[in-house]
Amino acid sequence: MQEIDFNTRIRRKAQAVNFALKRILDFQETNQELKEVLGYALNTPGKRVRAVLVLWCHELLKGQVDHNAEMASAAIELVHTYSLIHDDLPAMDDDDMRRGVPTCHRVFDEGAAILAGDALLTLAFEVLAREIDPPAMALKLIGLLAHEAGPTGMIGGQMADLRAEKTECDKKTLEYIHTNKTAKMFRCAAAMGAICGGASKKQYESLSEYGMKIGLCFQITDDILDISSSSEELGKTAGKDVVAVKCTYPAVVGMKKAQEIQKNLTEEAIAALKQFGKKADTLRQLAYSLLERTK
Ligand code: GRG
């Protein structure tokens, strides 16, 4: 049997997320215009990495994806998609392109983009509350996602990122921004998969640590690609960090050191999976593929 390459495996897994998102959207009884904006935002070709991470962490423990894991993966993708819509707004990064297509506020308008983001964020929690069984598991997932995406996570990081523009950024601020803005959503994804899979405390901690490390590496790669790649390859405007004088790893520690930190984080992520043995090979491959990604 011919072995399929890892990117194909990610894409195939992402299809399961796309189907779940489609089903969720189809059931929304809302006005046609909002449905159109939400459909546009959710159908743009995102990598679905956080959602796939939920599924693979769950599979590691349970062997097979179930309804809870599928809904948890859709929920984190809803939150992630909202964050990108808002991040692209004129008051934030003011971007025209995302995922290779015009941003939501460019296709519709700013008001529609803000509301679509709000709708996706709230819908994520409705999905968890309605679809996850038992209720105690739903409560855990809701609390975790709110915590990691909120003021002590993604929003806190985004605020610091916004304020760090055009300032002399130090390493401590840089680590705070990257950890909160990006890495905590990866930690959250791994932990959500662990919760759905009934992880022990030790398994939960290992998967959370793995998620945090690959998340931090993911953002450093993003910083590097912003400099070294093209808008066509990235599907979003390249070179923006330098123009906006953003607080990034290449800017603060230099390119060589940034690449060294990336590699170390990947090794640390892989070390965190030790207790799972060979069963965690997919997660190991994921860590390497994110280190080497080009978009
Ligand atoms: C509430 C107005 C308002 C703004 C909040 C929450 C927020 C805006 C922004 C989140 C911070 C953010 C966008 C971090 C960047 C993380 C990152 C590298 C995103 C890109 O992720 P990919 O590459 O994207 O996985 P795809 O398109 O593949 O899903």
Mutation pick for ligand 1 pocket among 10, 80, 84 (CB with most ligand atoms within 8 Å) = 84
The domain containing residue 144 runs over which residues?
6-292
- Looking at the domain assignment, is residue 228 inside a domain? yes
- Looking at the domain assignment, is residue 221 inside a domain? yes
pLDDT digits (tens, 9 = 90+) for 125-148: 999 999 999 999 999 999 999 999
Per-residue pLDDT band for 166 (boundaries 50, 70, 90) equals: confident
pLDDT at residue 168 tops 90: no
What is the model's pLDDT at position 291?
96
Which of 129, 151, 133 is closest to 142 using CA atoms?
Answer: 129
pLDDT digits (tens, 9 = 90+) for 186-238: 999 999 999 999 999 999 999 999 999 999 999 999 999 999 999 999 998 89
What is the model's pLDDT at position 2?
59
| Residue closest by Cα to atom 27 of ligand 1 | 46
CA of 192 to the centre of ligand 1 (A): 19
pLDDT digits (tens, 9 = 90+) for 225-281: 999 999 999 998 899 888 888 899 999 999 999 999 999 999 999 999 999 999 999
d(CA 29, CA 78): 17
What is the model's pLDDT at position 277?
98
Per-residue pLDDT band for 155 (boundaries 50, 70, 90) equals: very high
d(CA 120, CA 97): 20
CA of 274 to the centre of ligand 1 (A): 30
| Residue closest by Cα to atom 18 of ligand 1 | 219
- Looking at the domain assignment, is residue 206 inside a domain? yes
Q: Which atom of ligand 1 is nearest to the CA of 91?
A: 2
What is the model's pLDDT at position 4?
82
pLDDT at residue 1 tops 70: no
**How many folded domains does the chain comprise?**
1
- Looking at the domain assignment, is residue 1 inside a domain? no
- Looking at the domain assignment, is residue 101 inside a domain? yes
* Maximum separation of any 2 CA atoms in the chain, in Å: 55
CATH code (residue 279)? 1.10.600.10
**Element containing residue 98 per DSSP (H, E):** strand 97-98
- Looking at the domain assignment, is residue 130 inside a domain? yes
CA of 83 to the centre of ligand 1 (A): 5
226 CB less than 6 Å from ligand 1? no
- Whether residue 85 contacts residue 104, with contact meaning beta carbons closer than 8 Å, is answered with yes
| Residue closest by Cα to atom 16 of ligand 1 | 182
Which of 43, 194, 193 is closest to 120 using CA atoms?
Answer: 43
